[in-house]
Structure 1
Amino acid sequence: MSDELKPCPFCGEMPPVFEKEQCAPIVGHACRILDLQITVPLHTWNARAERTCRIDGVRGGGNCGTTTYRLSCGHAAVMPDGIRFRHCPECGAKVVDMVGVEEAPC
């Protein structure tokens, strides 16, 4: 396992690490996607497997100004137009392929 800190699998942000004397380093992160405070030992945070997925297509529809993307992990992501995401908001898989994806028209 690498000692390099991994980003949040849901929002992609780098969490802060807190260190106290005689204690293992702790990751404390407020994930904006999950709307949840996550506090775990650093070795646990970094031990997760890296899942990946790709965008299979645009489902379209929905409100004007948003696009629904169909992901290979089986989930969908509704995002404001022009905003790209790095991780699936449902399972946290890293989105690795966005080639050929265009915004759906209103």
Structure 2
Amino acid sequence: MKIRLRFSKQGQMKFIGHLDMVRYFQKVMRRSEVDVAYSEGFSPHQKMSFAAPLSVGVLSRGEYFDLEVNSTESSKVMLERINAQNAEGVEVLSYSFFLTTQKMP
């Protein structure tokens, strides 16, 4: 099941680069005990896909990433759980189920 998350990056967090934000959210998902799906193979990693990177030093209230999970609770519960682990300046604004379309052959 895919989840689309919208988050804001404010305050001092504007100085954090894109790759560091990816690693940051991997840690936040682990700490908040989200049942994230992992890739298979020699070195498994969380199945996350971020939108276009934001320039360093730019504030935003509309950054997105998709997350594949094995199971989930309600959006409200998950938002509370994730935001409890976030650092000052980062807030997850929405947690919504994302329907995928099948690819054409």
Category of TM-score, reference length = shorter chain: under 0.3
TM-score (norm: length of structure 2) = 0.24
User: With CA pairs under 8 Å and 6+ residues apart, which has the higher RCO, 1 or 2?
Assistant: 2
Larger Rg: 1
In proportion to residue count, which structure has more strand?
Answer: 1
In proportion to residue count, which structure has more helix?
Answer: 2
